[in-house]
Amino acid sequence: MTITFNRPVVIPITELEQSAFCQTDGNLRTKSLEEEFAAGVRWQKVPIRYLKLSPQEIDEGIAAARQALGKQVVVLGHHYQRPDVIKYADFRGDSYKLSQMASRERDSKFIVFCGVHFMAETADILTASDQTVILPNMAAGCSMSDMAQTEDVEDAWEQLSSVLGGEDEIVPVTYMNSTAEIKALCGRNGGIVCTSSNGTQLMEWAFRRGKRILFVPDQHLGRNTALKLGVPLDEMAVWSPFKQLGGHSPDRLRRAKIILWEGHCSVHTRFSVKQIEDARQKYPDVNILVHPECTMEVVQEADYVGSTEYIARMVREAPAGSKWAIGTEINLVKRLAEENADKSVFCLDPIVCPCATMYRVHPAYLLWVLEGIMAGLVINRITVGQKVAEQARIALRRMLEVAG
Ligand code: SF4
């Protein structure tokens, strides 16, 4: 029996949830699901047994399930997952690395994706038809991805096409953090998918194919990447999905080299120039290393900028004794600090908040779906419709071809 969902259980992040698990002492210890629910959050419902289990009981249950299921299950874990989940990942990575793994993974029948909804959708698109992709908690979405609703992007594309004309006028580029339908729009209109690992390379590719780019959904990644390629700010326009023509005149859109969707990451926009100044004042020899989803001001002030994989590599390869203030998700920063004890690694923001949607993958959900497989029950299967998958695959394969 399969419990299939085509769509995530959309539970928007409230202000309460955004700050529910923020800490000043950096202690992100997992509690029972019932205790975490007591913070006032609403996640996907699970059978009552899983609410009550202690972290140790969950741990033992997952270990036993993994042992029993063997190679028929592979667990993929995004770097931003909490320690009590990532420790079960057979492969860890950012969305780019995990999408490459999903495209190569042919041995396992079940791919349990500990990440967020758009990542599991991508895995379903890239894996074989006899493989099943499972997302442990269907409420694990991405607030940035939710800022670009498929209908709004399709509407924007129609408006832009009618104002600007044919394919060589505008090329759609979507960040991996978007729905399968938006990836499909890119696939059928000569566009491409990018990630923060390959954004520069793929934006160059898109500029070779057309006069301008529609970049969805992260305005900061789009702006930071375009600036790197020499596009001036006055040739960028931010598209508001709530206004006709995104809030611009046709003439303004014709003068733009890049049209940036008005979306952002609630985790990476927490970092500020003030935090960088404070870190430098406290540790004059500190290296500031941030993710390109941070604002332009933060990126310009930082010493190093790059994707999650780049951040991990920089810290790993840094000399012993060096200091690193990092502007990215706290679970990754804490892990890097633990794995690089000969260096001083800390979060740029003294109040540490996990990505609230990634955090929804509590280990009890992982246990629930694994025990489901053992009982012949496929819980939370992610499936992308055939036509959408075919078109999205075009844009994803372009990315894998261009960026390797
Ligand atoms: S860190 Fe930001 S972009 Fe990544 S999943 Fe969380 S909200 Fe989305």
pLDDT reported for residue 8 = 59
For residue 318, the one-letter residue type is A
Pocket of ligand 1 (CB under 6 A): 80, 116, 142-144, 177, 265-267, 329, 355, 357-358
The residue whose two tokens read 């690694």 is 345
Measured in residues, the chain has a length of: 404
CA angle at 96 for the pair 188 and 316, rounded to the nearest 5°? 160
Report the alpha-carbon distance of residue 232 to residue 23 in Å, rounded.
Answer: 39
Whether the CB-CB separation of 118 and 78 falls below 8 Å is answered with: no
Q: What is the pTM of this model?
A: 0.92
Among 33-42, 71-80, 224-233, name the one with the lowest average pLDDT. Answer: 33-42
The beta strands (E) that lie in 96-191 are given as: 110-114, 132-134, 170-175
Residue of the CA atom closest to atom 2 of ligand 1: 265
* Phi, psi torsion values for 6, nearest 5 degrees: -90, -20
pLDDT tens by residue, 96-123: 788 788 778 788 999 999 999 999 999 9
The atom of ligand 1 lying closest to the CA of 268 is 2
Pick from 332, 336, 339, 325: nearest CA to 355: 332
Ligand 1 site-directed mutation target among 135, 195, 264, 266, most atoms within 8 Å of CB: 266
3-state secondary structure of 67: helix
Tell me: pLDDT of 79 over 70: yes
Round to whole Å and give the CA distance between 110 and 102: 11
Ordered by where they begin, the domains of the chain are 2-20+31-141+356-385 (3.40.50.10800), 148-263 (3.40.50), 268-347 (3.40.50.10800)
Task: Output the CA 191–ligand 1 centroid distance in Å.
Answer: 23
pLDDT in tens, 357-387: 999 999 999 999 999 999 999 999 999 999 9
Closest CA to 30 of 86, 90, 114: 86
**Is the four-CA dihedral 223, 229, 233, 237 of positive or negative sign?**
negative
